[in-house]
Structure 1
Amino acid sequence: MKLTSIQVCAMVLPLCLLADATQAQLYKSVGPDGKVTYSDTPPPATQKLVETKSISTSQDFNNFPYELKLAASKNPVVLYTTSNCKPCNEGKTFLKSAGIPFAEKTVKSNADSDKLKQLSGDIQLPFLTIGSNKLHGYNQDDWKAAISAASYPDANRLPATYVYPQPESAAPASKPDSASTPPKNVAPPAPAPIKKPENDNGFRF
C-alpha cells in the first residue's frame, strides 16, 4: 500500500515528539548587531550560528520552563555543606526560596575535606559552584549576582512538583569489586609442595 506524504508525516510525528522528550537542541547565535541569542529552534539566516548543544531532558529538570532548563544545563549549581553550619543552612534556604535547583555535597570525613580543598583551594564552608564560578562562604548579594550572571530567572520558576535530590558525600567511598574480593570465612588455598630434585645435595647457588 502506498502512503501519502500526509500519512507518512502522521506516522513519523509521534516518533519525533518522543525523541524531543528525551533530548533537546540548544542554539547559540549572534546577530548583525553582535547580540547573542539562545534558542531551542535553529536561528534565522540573519543570525550567525555559533554553537549547537544537545541536552538530555530526562533529568530532574525535564519539566522546567525553557529559561530555567537552559540555565541549569549550562551552569549547574552544587552546594557543599557540613553539619551544624548556620551559613550553610542559610545558603540552602536562599537557593530554595530563589527556585534554584542544586545538588548538595556534604563534607564530614577527611576524604570529603580533601575533596573540598582540591576543588576550592581551602576548607571554608559553605562552598558554592555555579558552572565554573566558585564562591566561598555565604554572602547573599554575591550569590544573587552570580545566579543572575548564570542566566537563572529572577523569580522562582521551579515546578511545584520538583523535589530536591538527597545530599551526597563530597567524596563517596568506592564500592569494592566483588569479583576481586575473596569471600569471607574461606581459607586461602594451600601452597603446592616444592618437589626436590633427585640430585639435590642441599646447596644453593
Structure 2
Amino acid sequence: MKAGFIIAACVVATASAPLAAAQLYQWKDAQGRMIYSDQPPPASVKNAQQKSFKGNLIESGESYATRTAREKHPITLYSSPCGAPCDEARKLLTERGVPFSSKDTQASTDAQAELKKLTGKLSVPVIVVGSERIDGFESGQWNAALDRAGYPKSAPPGSKPASTTTAPKN
C-alpha cells in the first residue's frame, strides 16, 4: 500500500512539473465570456493575452519575519575594536541572524560624526533599531529591542546575517 502511494505521488509530481512553467491564454469569446485556457485561442480572437507562470522562487535566504523587521526597523551598529563589549554586541546580532549595518567609529570620521550627533559622545557600542537607540551593550536590553522590532530570536540553520560595514572615510 505504501509503495503504491509513493509511486503514485512520484508520477503526479513528474507529470505536474511542466505546469510550473505553463502558458495560460485569456480572451473573451463571441458571447463576451472570459475564457482561460492552456491552449491558444482561435485565430479569429482579438486581444488575447498570453500569461507566463514560472515556479515560485525565493531569491533570498532571509525569512519573511526578518525581511519585514529589516524594512520597518533597520539596524545600525556603531562600534570599533573596543574589546569585549563590541565583540559581544556583534556576536549577539550574528547569533540571532539579524541583518545590520556596521559603522566603525575608529576607522571612519563620518561614522564618528554620526555617532556624536546621535548620542553627544563617542562611546561604543551603540545600536539603533529603527528609531530606538541603546547606548552600551547589555544583552537583555538589546534582545528586548530586537524582539519589539520583530526580529527572530535565532538565525535559521546554516544562515549568516547580511552585515554591511561602512567603508572608512577620513
Q: What's the TM-score, normalizing by structure 2? A: 0.62
Q: Give, in angstroms, the shift of residue 155 of structure 1.
A: 3.1
1:30-109 map, 5 Å:
62-108=60-106, 109=108
For residues 52-94 of structure 1, what are the alpha-carbon distances to aligned partners after superposition, in whole Å with 9 as ceiling and x for unaligned? xxxxxx7xxx332212221111111111111243201110011
Counterpart position of 1:5 = 36
RMSD after superposition: 3.1
Q: Give, in angstroms, the shift of residue 127 of structure 1.
A: 0.7
> Which residue identity does 1:72 align to in structure 2?
R
Counterpart position of 1:14 = 54
4+ runs deviating over 4 angstroms: none
Alignment check: 8 A CA contact 2:104 2:166 kept:
yes
Structure 1 residues 116 and 63: CA distance shift in structure 2, 3 A: same
Distance between the aligned counterparts of 1:89 and 1:139, measured in 2? 12
Counterpart position of 2:134 = 135
> Which residue identity does 1:112 align to in structure 2?
A
Counterpart position of 1:53 = none
Q: Give, in angstroms, the shift of residue 167 of structure 1.
A: 2.1
Higher helix share goes to which structure? 2
> Which residue identity does 1:119 align to in structure 2?
L
| SS of aligned partner of 1:14 | coil
Name the % identity: 24
Which one of 160, 168, 174 corresponds to residue 166 of structure 2? Answer: 168
Answer with 143-152 or 112-121: which moved more.
Answer: 112-121
For residues 111-148 of structure 1, what are the alpha-carbon distances to aligned partners after superposition, in whole Å with 9 as ceiling and x for unaligned? 43222111233212001011111110001110011011
Alignment check: 8 A CA contact 2:99 2:163 kept:
no
Q: Give, in angstroms, the shift of residue 10 of structure 1.
A: 7.0
Counterpart position of 1:186 = none
1:109-124 map, 5 Å:
109-124=108-123
Q: Give, in angstroms, the shift of residue 9 of structure 1.
A: 8.1
Distance between the aligned counterparts of 1:97 and 1:162, measured in 2? 9
Distance between the aligned counterparts of 2:135 and 2:90, measured in 1? 14
| SS of aligned partner of 1:63 | coil
Long gaps (5+) in structure 1: 22-57, 174-205
Distance between the aligned counterparts of 1:164 and 1:68, measured in 2? 11
